[in-house]
């Protein structure tokens, strides 16, 4: 594996090892991840491929219900067993006012000198780039670098900017009596994401009412019945029960499986590249279709004449990718010359990449032979051809994957 250009020119493997035991290295890596540095991509790709024993818990609820105070309680419970913790607090307030983040800091600051606790606050307003992506990337970083517990604190449920349910192993929805959280109104969103309900501020009026409403929720489609736990977070009451409920849900494992699938998808996205199609040069598309359509049963989904390339093409969806049959319009076309020289057969491989411009630049600096300047085709996609002499003997088409 090649050495990346990033931190001290470490390989992603070396970098990952360094982060594992060191909270300051983790903080630096988190900054690279947030800034979407290219070397951080490589690191995340590596971490997403590694098995992780981390438990990712989402703490979601309205501002002020006590999420940070609960996080603090969970940190203490895990630290009591010498387990390491990371907290990612996503805050919708502006970085200027900083209100709740300051609150988070104060509530969790008792851990500031504990290297077993890593806390990262992220303001959503003023944040450049996708917060959802940054959040799941940070969670992946913390989980993949060996933290035992990763808590992601977010506001809102279901339709929120950061849908923690998508990547958490256990999604805890935090409610408090008298906070104006209308269970009926939130029902649809709650039903989808809550694995555990916590009624925090259980020292207040209205707990029973809220509890009743939660128990009246219809059963979930996947058969899981969310537990309902009562806590008084600032007094540490109910934390043990909350932890138990989290563990029970984790053992049920349905979410872990879902999260694993999501991580796999994420890893794929990191790689980002895919085979868009394989181009096969043929003398006659109609004749070739006799095989691909009639014998193999592929549909010719799309046929088109690309005049400036001097070809007719037919696209056949095949095994998650596509086969492009290419037939020369006349003897002057490059494809006609290809067939005359080499015979019918594999003409080019087309790769799709989300890092198109970056890749073209890299090809240029490395001296690869580009056949054309990047241009935009009829379908609106931008592409460039790389000469076989640079690619190991096959014409390569690079296509931009638009994000």
Q: Applying CB under 6 A, which residues contact ligand GDP?
A: 61, 63-69, 100, 103, 107, 200-201, 203, 232-234
For residue 136, the partner it binds in Mg ion, ligand GDP, none, with Cβ less than 5 to 8 A by kind, is: none
Cβ proximity to ligand GDP, 123 vs 386, nearer residue = 123
Give the distance, in angstroms, between the CA of residue 335 and the centroid of all CA atoms in the same chain: 40
* Dihedral sign, Cα of residue 172, residue 177, residue 180, residue 183: positive
Contact 379/333 with Cβ under 8 angstroms?
no
Pattern 78-117, Mg ion, x by CB under 5 A: --------------------------x-------------
Are 43 and 31 a contacting pair, CB within 8 Å?
no
Shorter beta-carbon distance to ligand GDP: residue 64 or 377: 64
Counting beta carbons within 10 angstroms of the beta carbon of residue 334, is it exposed (0 to 12), middle (13 to 18) or buried (19 or more)?
middle
Closest distance between Mg ion and the C-beta of residue 67, in Å?
Answer: 5
Which of the residues 320 through 339 are near Mg ion (CB under 5 A)? none
Picking from 401, 367, 365, 371, the residue whose alpha carbon sits closest to that of residue 386 is 371
Q: Which does 64 bind (CB under 5 to 8 A by kind): Mg ion, ligand GDP, none?
A: ligand GDP
CB of 87 to ligand GDP, least distance (A): 11
* Dist. CA 82–CA 77, nearest whole Å: 9
C-beta of 32 vs 68, nearer to Mg ion: 68
Residue 100 CB, nearest approach to Mg ion (Å): 5
Residue 112 beta carbon to Mg ion: minimum distance, rounded to whole angstroms: 16
- 279 touches, from Mg ion, ligand GDP, none (C-beta below 5 to 8 Å by class): none
Q: Which is nearer to ligand GDP, 91 or 169 (CB)?
A: 91
**Are the beta carbons of 175 and 163 closer than 8 angstroms?**
no
Q: Are 67 and 163 in contact (CB under 8 A)?
A: no
CA distance 18 to 35: 20
Number of residues counted as binding Mg ion (CB under 5 A)? 3
Residue whose CB is less far from ligand GDP, 106 or 394: 106
Contact residue for Mg ion among 60, 68, 84, 227 (CB under 5 A): 68
> Greatest CA separation found in the chain?
86
Q: Does 397 bind Mg ion (CB under 5 A)?
A: no
Q: Which is nearer to ligand GDP, 202 or 289 (CB)?
A: 202
- The answer to whether 200 and 175 have CB atoms below 8 angstroms apart is yes
Among candidates 384, 397, 402, which has minimal Cα distance to 324? 397
User: Are 157 and 175 contacting, i.e. CB atoms less than 8 angstroms apart?
Assistant: no
Q: Which does 200 bind (CB under 5 to 8 A by kind): ligand GDP, Mg ion, none?
A: ligand GDP
Residues engaged in binding Mg ion (CB under 5 A): 67-68, 104
């Amino acid at each position: 594996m090649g050495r990346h250009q990033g931190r001290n020119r470490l390989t992603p493997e070396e970098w990952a090892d360094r982060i594992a035991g060191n909270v300051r290295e983790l903080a630096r890596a988190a900054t690279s991840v947030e800034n979407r540095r290219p070397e951080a991509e490589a690191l995340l790709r590596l971490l997403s491929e590694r098995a992780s024993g981390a438990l990712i818990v989402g703490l979601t609820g309205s501002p002020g219900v006590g999420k940070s105070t609960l996080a603090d309680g969970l940190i203490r419970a895990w630290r009591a067993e010498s387990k390491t913790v990371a907290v990612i607090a996503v805050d919708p307030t502006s970085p200027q006012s900083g209100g709740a983040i300051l609150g988070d800091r104060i509530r969790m600051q008792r851990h500031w000198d504990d290297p077993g606790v890593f806390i990262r606050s992220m303001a959503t307003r003023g944040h450049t780039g996708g917060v959802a992506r940054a959040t799941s990337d940070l969670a992946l970083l913390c989980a993949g670098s060996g933290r035992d517990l990763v808590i992601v604190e977010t506001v809102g449920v279901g339709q929120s900017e950061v849908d923690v349910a998508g990547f958490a192993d256990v999604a805890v929805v935090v409610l408090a009596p008298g906070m104006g959280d209308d269970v009926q109104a939130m029902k649809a969103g709650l039903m989808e994401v809550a694995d555990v309900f916590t009624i925090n501020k259980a020292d207040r009026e209205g707990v029973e009412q809220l509890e009743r409403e939660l128990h009246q929720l219809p059963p979930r489609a996947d058969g899981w019945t969310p537990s309902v736990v009562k806590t008084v977070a600032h007094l540490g009451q109910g934390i043990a029960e909350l932890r138990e409920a989290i563990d029970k849900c984790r053992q049920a494992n349905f979410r872990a499986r879902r999260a694993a699938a999501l991580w796999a998808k994420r890893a794929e996205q990191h790689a980002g590249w895919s085979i868009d199609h394989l181009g096969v040069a043929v003398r006659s598309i109609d004749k070739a279709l006799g095989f691909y359509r009639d014998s193999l049963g592929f549909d010719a989904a799309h046929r088109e004449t690309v005049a400036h390339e001097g070809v007719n093409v037919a696209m056949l969806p095949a095994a998650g990718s596509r086969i492009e049959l290419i037939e020369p319009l006349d003897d002057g076309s490059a494809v006609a010359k290809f067939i005359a020289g080499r015979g019918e057969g594999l003409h080019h491989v087309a790769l799709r990449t989300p890092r198109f411009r970056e890749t073209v630049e890299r090809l240029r600096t490395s001296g690869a032979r580009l056949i054309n300047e990047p241009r935009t085709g009829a379908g609106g996609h931008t592409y460039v051809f790389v000469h076989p002499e640079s690619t190991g003997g096959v014409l390569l088409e690079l296509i931009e994957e638009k994000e």
